[in-house]
Structure 1
Amino acid sequence: YNQALKDHPSIPDEIAQGKFDTLLGWLNTNIHQHGRKFNGAELTRRVTGEDIQSDSYIAYLTDKFSGIYGL
C-alpha cells in the first residue's frame, strides 16, 4: 500500500470519495497480473525495490489501531 501511495498520492482522497479505480489499477498492474509467477518476497522486491520490511506494516497497524482504540 505504501508503494501505491508513493506512486499515486491521491489514493486516500479517492478512497474517501468511494473511488477505487486508481488503487485497483495499481494492484492489477503491479500485483495481480503476476499471479503465482513470483513468491511474496520476490514480488515485494520487484514492486518496492526493497526486501520485505516490518517497519511499514508496524507503522500501518499503529496508525490504524491508535485511532480506533485511542492509543
Structure 2
Amino acid sequence: MATIGITKAITNLIEAHAKLDVSPSSDANFFTEWKEPLPTLSDAEKAKLELLKRRYLYYADSGAL
C-alpha cells in the first residue's frame, strides 16, 4: 500500500467528513482550553460574525477554499 500526503488524499472538507467520519460541531465545550474572559460583543458584531461564519462554511463545504 502506498502512502500519500494528507493534502493529496483529502483536498476539501467534504472529503474529510466522508473519509474521516467527522462533522462540524457547534458544541461550546468542544475546545474547553479556548475559554477565557473576553469582551462582550455588540449585537451588530454578533450579526457580522454569524454572516462571516455562514459564508465561510458555505465555501469550505463546497471545496472553494
TM-score band, normalised by the shorter chain? 0.3 to 0.5
Structure showing greater relative contact order (alpha-carbon pairs closer than 8 Å, 6 or more residues apart): 2
- Which of these two proteins has the greater Rg computed from alpha carbons? 2
TM (norm. structure 2) is 0.33
Tell me the TM-score normalized by structure 1. 0.31
Higher normalized helix content (fraction of residues): 1
